[in-house]
A and B are shown apart, each in its own frame.
Chain A
Amino acid sequence: MSLAHRILPCLDTDGERVVKGVHFEGLRDAGDPVELAARYNSEGADELVVLDIAAARDNRPTFLATIRRVAEQLSIPLTAGGGIRSLDDARSVVRAGADKVTVNTAAVERPPLIAELSREFGAQAVVLAIDAKREDDGWQVRVRGGRAATKWKALDWARHGVERGAGEILLTSVDRDGTQSGFDLSLTAAISRSVQVPVIASGGAKLPQHFLDVFSKAAADAALAASIFHDQVQSIRALKLFLQSHGVTVRLPC
């Protein structure tokens, strides 16, 4: 009896449709978020993440409507984010039906935002999304969809974000994202072992072995992937059966 390792499908949206791209670029349509949400809910996804990767001000109402429609489908937790810059932005996402919100660029630009969200919704609802890129002897935090450099080293920013009230870290390897060459195990292990909160590994997943490695070798608490689930390359149930057969605790819905 112990906490299960979580598998999280992620819907990257342009506000309305699910899109996909490599290295945060070259987007193409990958389906209807409501249909995908219903499918993942019944296939045994442990949570669903919905991100607005366009995050333009004028498509906010569309994105909020998408969250509402997705939330209607779910009996599992929903995390939403992309473009959350203020407490008000977060409130509207929570009111639309999200259980947790992710913050990324806005938190780097104004770290007190993390504490504001944590005070209002509780730490368990505040997911600090970190896009990390390998630099020399460590990893640097990138913002604006992975394009812009910051002064932060990923390890320092993760610790700092947790001190300010983040209850979970969604850690994306910018180098691995979209490559399907496996999670960045050294990055994930380094972050997971330096903070007390759960860490969701993201970027690079394709094979069941990639998930096994990130749980058994890199101390990830959860693992996130998008296109391999959308394209039905990998079923969530088959993935969980594989993990279970290798001694990883997973939830198989009864």
Chain B
Amino acid sequence: MIATLIDYGAGNVTSVARALRRLGTEVQLTHDPRLISAASSLILPGVGHCAALLHSLDSRSLRQPLLHAIGRGVPFLGICLGLQALYQRSEEAPEIVGLGVLPGDVRRLPVEVKLPHMGWNQLHAVRPCRLLEGIPEEAYFYFAHSYAAPANGAESAATCTHGREFTAVLEHGGVFGVQFHPEKSGAPGARLLENFLRIAA
């Protein structure tokens, strides 16, 4: 199978592509709406500012093809901002509507802790999730963010806590998201990407 990686200029596209290729998968990097409409699986990476991601999607006319693909049940994985973009809105860019696939808003983590939430942290499993199959409960993943999704949504499969609890892994039908960077998270990260590819196959 071919993993379609949405290339809208995000900083971590190259490392996500590299991590996927290491798993032996063919990777298609594209910002062509037609290729996104025809994809059998979609990965939306992201790092940096939420507005940059949503503006890039809109300026390349990718929002509708992406939403249609998700609506048809095409397996989707959002990474970091790619997860945050699935919600209604983000406090980081309140003037732009999110993809709105999931209810709720992305909010800034509390100021009582050091921000960005940067480094390796562990997950708290809320319910079984296909993305986390075979990954030890005590595994660490690499995070780098200051905003996060609510922890209490039905889509939340695992949470993490930094100042407050937030959704670190989500599963909603064929829609998956991770707040951390699996492409930078050593062996557990590689296993998670492999799990997604298996689900999408």
Contacts and interface: CB of A to CB of B under 8 A. Distances in A.
B56 interface: no
Interface string B126-152: 000000000010111011111000000
Given A76-B142, A95-B14, A122-B48, A253 B119 contact: no
Nearest to B162: A3
A214 to B, nearest CB: 15
Contact of A121 (B11, B181, B187): B11
Given A75-B189, A76-B184, A197 B15 contact: no
Interface in A185-204: 196-198
Contacts of B185: 75-76
B186 interface: yes
B140 A4 contact: yes
A232 interface: no
B119 A4 contact: yes
Contacts of B143: 3
Contacts of B144: 77, 99, 124-125
Nearest to A254: B136
Contacts of A95: 14
Contacts of A76: 142, 184-186
A187 B198 CA distance: 49
B88 interface: no
Interface string A41-59: 1000010000000000000
B117 interface: yes
A218 to B, nearest CB: 14
Interface string A69-102: 0011011110000000000000000110101000
A4 B11 contact: no
Question: Does more than half of chain A's interface fall in helix, strand or loop, or is it mixed?
Answer: loop
Contacts of B18: 71-72, 97
Interface of A: 1-4, 6, 41, 46, 71-72, 74-77, 94-95, 97, 99, 119-125, 167-168, 196-198, 221-222, 251, 253-254
Interface of B: 11-12, 14-15, 18-19, 22, 47-49, 111, 114-122, 124, 136, 138-140, 142-146, 160-162, 181, 183-190
B77 to A, nearest CB: 17
A75 B136 contact: no
A123 B142 CA distance: 16
Contacts of A72: 18
Q: Which of A72, A94, A198: most chain B Cβ within 10 A? A: A198
Contact of A97 (B15, B140, B161, B187): B15
Given A99-B12, A124-B144, A125-B11, A75 B183 contact: yes
A223 B145 CA distance: 20
B116 A167 contact: yes
Nearest to B159: A1
Q: Which of B14, B117, B181: most chain A Cβ within 10 A? A: B14
Given A1-B122, A253-B187, A254-B188, A97 B14 contact: yes
Nearest to B145: A124
Given A4-B140, A97-B15, A77 B184 contact: yes
B139 to A, nearest CB: 6
A119 B93 CA distance: 13
5 contacts: A3-B120, A75-B187, A94-B11, A124-B118, A254-B139
B119 A124 contact: no
A196 B111 contact: yes
A6 B185 CA distance: 13
A196 B184 CA distance: 24
